[in-house]
Amino acid sequence: MDANTARWAQQLMDSYRDEGGVNASEEPGLPSKPEIALLCNQLMQLLFPGYHDGGPVGRLELSELTKDRVNGLAEDLRRVFQAVLAGKDDAGATATVGKLFNELPAIRAMLQTDVEAAYEGDPAARTRDEIILSYPFLEAIAVQRVAHFLYRHDIPLVPRMMTEWAHVQTGIDIHPGAGIGSHFFIDHGTGVVIGETCRIGAHVKLYHGVTLGARSFAKDESGRIKKGGKRHPDVEDGVTIYPNATVLGGETVIGRNSTIGGNVFLMHSVPPNSLVYNEEAQVRVVSKSSKGETIDYSI
């Protein structure tokens, strides 16, 4: 090791000491990003066998393969849960693993309603297999539905790491705290943001660029942001929200069967069966081919 290498290493060691941000421990430390990525991939293989593997899974081998995967994932989850609980609740970690595996069939049934919503809601969808294999929203909502279960059972850190893994994979950012009903569909998906305290009903359809966010953040007497509280909107059953619409605020409720148009910015509730849209600005179309002549096709 030359002098420069030793000096650079020592500078980093000093930074680790002074600034923190190091996941190091004599005991099993916090989970790493690659570890959570592996867990998410294992979950997707259990939720949709053969779609997240090297190829289709043989029917004769499916039973034994599922047993092996359940056994491996259960042990990996138990280890991760124990780490984030700092070893203080090993029994709780084991119990949560059991509860999750008991819930996975119900989560799969919910995800099938999401596949159906995409099939019925997108004329470009030719088959349900196409949706499972190629629609990014399904990966995002599958991971979020599992993470939401863990969030509700007070597992720290892991649910957020899971949904951020899905965010990186898909461009869709759904907080694990958000409660989402059946038959949920995000068309295209890129740029969608759904906040922690959102409550979304059944048969809701969002398009790309939609934000369901917070209007403002309450602060304490020291000027620090207060944690918790209802900050994000509720979206009732049957609502459609078109591209790049922004809906903000914990007291905002989008009434059932309403439609929010593209590029709408909304910070107050709307009653059921509402249509919300911006007044269209005048768009002018003129001919480029006529020399010295302007033909006005204003719309």
Question: Which residue has better confidence, 122 or 280?
Answer: 122
CATH assignment at residue 230: 2.160.10.10
Q: Are 165 and 206 in a shared domain?
A: no
Judgement on whether residues 155 and 75 belong to the same structural domain of the protein: yes
- On the question of pLDDT at 60 being above 70, the answer is yes
pLDDT confidence band for 198 (50 / 70 / 90): very high
As for how many domains the chain has, the answer is: 2
Residues 262 and 275 sit within 8 Å (Cβ to Cβ): no
87/13: higher pLDDT:
13
36 with 163, same domain: the answer is: yes
Summarize the confidence of residues 131-155 as an average pLDDT.
Answer: 96
219 in any annotated domain? yes
| Residue 185 resides in a domain | no
CATH of the domain at 55: 1.10.3130.10
Is the pLDDT confidence value at 283 over 80? Answer: no
Residues 88 and 130 in one domain: yes
* 70 shares its domain with 133: yes
Do 72 and 34 fall within a single domain? yes
Residue 4 counted as domain residue: no
In this structure, the answer to whether residues 69 and 168 fall within a common structural domain is yes
Residue 153 lies in a domain: yes
Judged against a pLDDT cut of 60, whether residue 297 lies above it is answered with: no
Residue with the bigger pLDDT between 245 and 290: it is 245
Is residue 142 located within the same domain as residue 195? no
Q: What is the predicted pLDDT for the residue at 132? A: 93
- The reply to whether 241 falls in a domain is yes
- The DSSP secondary structure of 174-238, one letter per residue, reads E-TT-EE-SS-EEES-TT-EE-TT-EE-SS-EEETT-EEE-S---B-TTSPBPP-S--S-EE-TT
d(CA 65, CA 145): 23
In a domain, 2, yes or no: no
Domain that holds residue 127: 26-172
- Same domain, yes or no: 196 and 241: yes
Quote the pLDDT of residue 195.
97
Q: Are residues 165 and 30 in the same domain?
A: yes
Q: What is the mean pLDDT of residues 113-134?
A: 96
Task: Look up the pTM and report it.
Answer: 0.86
Quote the pLDDT of residue 184.
98
Residue 27: per-residue pLDDT: 57
What's the token pair of residue 199?
A: 């409550």
